[in-house]
Chains A and B, each alone.
Chain A
Amino acid sequence: MSGAGHGMAARNLVEVRDLTVEFATEDGVVRAVDGVSFHIERGETLVVVGESGSGKSVTSLALMRLVESPPGRIASGEILLRGRDGAVRDLARLDNHEMRQLRGNDIAMIFQEPMTSLNPIYTIGDQIIEAIRLHQGKSGRAAFALGVDMLELLGIPEPRQRMRSYPHQMSGGMRQRAMIAMALSCHPALLIADEPTTALDVTIQAQIIELIKRLQSELGMAVIFITHNLGVAAEIADRIMVMYAGRVVEAGPARAIFHQPRMPYTIGLLNSVPRLGIDRAAQHELTAIPGNVPSPHHLPPGCAFHPRCAFFERGRCDSEIPRLEECAPGHAVRCLRWRAVAQSRGHEEGR
């Protein structure tokens, strides 16, 4: 597919437009992702935040075209990617063979569970070499050497021996590094990290995040980082996209999301996280968002968040579906009452 007709901004690596992913279930069709649009510039980090079931993982799998089908399918929308060769392709319409050429090569992905995302019966080396040989016509020896270099880059001690280790012989943090080595072995322009630190303990989390930041600047790749942990988001994000019930509810620069949140859901998320090391006066009580994520089978009418929302306005929020509006440059929010929200927070932010 040629890049001419897509009108994609030159600095953008990925543009997702109006992506909808549906799953056929016994109780009817469920929209896991509903009209999601976003973009990623070269070398930047987009953090996607949301609770379980918000559609963040499905969005990332759709980018890789790895949504299990059936039951899932990309119902509509475009996923534009500028490839190595400069050509813009719509991944939603690529055939399987072309898509395979891009996976691991232009886009790579790492997963939540380092325990289960490596094949237990092959050595780390076998698996990194597989990734290399799938995309680069390298000999076994050259691929092995490249694998050793990758492990070294990831800060794994004794990389030569480690190439011959099986996953069960390594710790969780080491396995996640090996997984990242495998994902990055072909120097992709985009890395999708689906909760890569969730299963790790806190010190290892910090190391892996540092590592991803370092590799990102060294290799110049863009990262989509999926997490439900706002602390992690604060560490790494250039921009943040908040998802709720399959829709983007707020998106903007990380600073804006943390300091001038406009969507009550985002505010709820921020208030439910303890903050350390800021002055006592600014401390607030931890509050939980009441209620639960709605079932995708029975989304509330109007704004999907209204049953849990502190700014709920009867007759409006439960009937009218809000659009994503720009509330500040580069900062979009999907809330009918964002102006009221902004006003009520004014005194807090004004300080």
Chain B
Amino acid sequence: MTAVATVTRERAPWAKSAARLLRRPTARLGAGIVAIFLLLTVAAPLLAPYSPFDQDFAAALEAPSAAHPFGTDQYGRDVLSRVIYGSRIALLSIVIADGFGLVVGSLLGLVAGFYGKWVDSAVMRVVDVLLAFPYLLLALIIVAALGPGLLNSMIAIGVVYTPQYARLIRGQVLSVKTTEFVLAAQAIGASRRRVMLRHILPNSFTPVMVMATLSAGTVVVETAGLSFLGMGSQPPSPDWGAILSEGQSYFLTSWWIATFPGLAIFAVVIGFNLLGDALRDHFDPRRRKE
């Protein structure tokens, strides 16, 4: 055997992979927006010029100016500061709602796909029922049952997303289950649970990452939507949906109150969608241009 045995020290696989992902301009744009968004959430107290809650009736409904770049609302609160702090609620909704859907949905899909038979039928019928509802209606039903509030609205959105994750990962599990390395893992004496969690789950996860990124944007819209309808976060919380809702009554005279949180939602959705699309192309071997 004359195999070349020199193992060259290269960049770590993840670094190479990230570099290739960011080669596309749209991917860079998406990643940039998401990065700014994350920076806002972390550095909100440093970046916001005012407190998001401080009222100043002398300065109510002021148009954008040097002192208040995004203007002020009917209580004289600085809209810029509220939008910046609102990013924290948006991030929280991603973590809780998208996270809930991802964890619960993946577990359900994994168990259904792996055990098959009646477990599969039972889980997937429940999933089908959930999918049959229009998503906002389902979310409203769940919030109505749990009671309005920020956390409950996020859980409701999470439940709405669960069936999509369950379906996605079940399909993956079904195909990974038949691969030879799964058989090989069983052949060295690995238990069923070990095969499922250590060998099948990680190999089924790639499309879930793409979906989690893509739905991060829509989750923000939907939690904002519930807040807009008054089912989510309650005043004076600087939730983007809530600010939009309050601002709409002043929209003809003070357009800035509703416009800036709307733009923030728009930017976050665009950012996550671009990043999600880039990830999808990145992980799709057919679309990979080497």
A interface residue numbers (CB < 8 A to B): 64, 66, 70, 96, 100-105, 108-113, 116-121, 130-131, 134-135, 155, 157-158, 161-162, 165-166, 171, 173-174, 179, 182-183, 207
Contacts and interface: CB of A to CB of B under 8 A. Distances in A.
A109 B5 contact: no
B187 A116 contact: no
Interface string B1-42: 101010100000100000000000000000000000000000
Contact of B1 (A111, A117, A157): A157
Contacts of B3: 157, 171, 173-174
Contact of A109 (B1, B179, B187, B190): B187
A66 B186 contact: yes
Nearest to B205: A121
Interface string B234-256: 00000000000000000000000
B203 A104 contact: no
Contact of A101 (B7, B183, B189, B192): B189
Given A117-B180, A121-B203, A155-B1, A104 B7 contact: no
Of the candidates B7, B181, B185, B198, the one having the most CB atoms from chain A within 10 angstroms of its own CB is B181
Nearest to A121: B202
Contacts of B192: 96
B180 A135 contact: no
B188 interface: yes
B185 to A, nearest CB: 7
B103 interface: no
B65 interface: no
Contacts of B202: 121
Contacts of A173: 1, 3
B186 A103 contact: yes
B199 interface: yes
A172 to B, nearest CB: 11
Given A113-B180, A120-B203, A183 B189 contact: no
Contact of A103 (B117, B188, B198): B188
Nearest to B117: A70
B122 interface: no
A130 B183 contact: no
SS of B interface (majority): helix
Contact of A100 (B117, B183, B189, B203): B189
Given A119-B199, A158-B7, A171-B3, A111 B184 contact: yes
B203 A118 contact: no
Nearest to B181: A119
A104 B188 contact: yes
A66 B183 contact: yes
Contacts, number: 78
Interface string B176-213: 00011101111111111000001100110000000000
B188 A131 contact: yes
Given A155-B1, A207-B1, A117 B188 contact: no
B188 A130 contact: yes
Contacts of A100: 189-191
A121 B199 CA distance: 9
Contacts of A130: 185, 188, 190, 198
Nearest to A101: B189
A111 B189 contact: no
Contacts of A134: 188-190
A64 B187 contact: yes
A183 B203 contact: no
Contacts of A66: 183, 186-187
Given A119-B199, A157-B1, A183 B191 contact: no
A117 B7 contact: no
Nearest to B185: A119
Given A157-B3, A173-B3, 19 more contacts: A66-B186, A70-B117, A100-B189, A104-B189, A105-B189, A110-B184, A111-B183, A116-B179, A120-B203, A130-B185, A131-B188, A131-B189, A134-B188, A155-B1, A157-B1, A158-B5, A158-B7, A173-B1, A182-B184
A183 B186 contact: no
A135 to B, nearest CB: 6
A250 to B, nearest CB: 28
9 contacts: A66-B187, A100-B191, A104-B188, A113-B180, A116-B179, A130-B190, A131-B188, A131-B189, A173-B3
Q: Which 6 A-B pairs have the closest CB atoms?
A: A104-B188, A104-B189, A157-B5, A103-B189, A117-B180, A131-B188
A131 B199 CA distance: 13
B1 to A, nearest CB: 6
Nearest to B203: A121
Nearest to A105: B189
A158 B4 CA distance: 10
Contacts of A118: 181, 184
Given A111-B180, A158-B7, A183 B199 contact: no
Given A157-B3, A157-B5, A179 B184 contact: yes
Nearest to B7: A161
A165 B7 contact: yes
A117 B189 contact: no
B175 to A, nearest CB: 12
B257 to A, nearest CB: 49
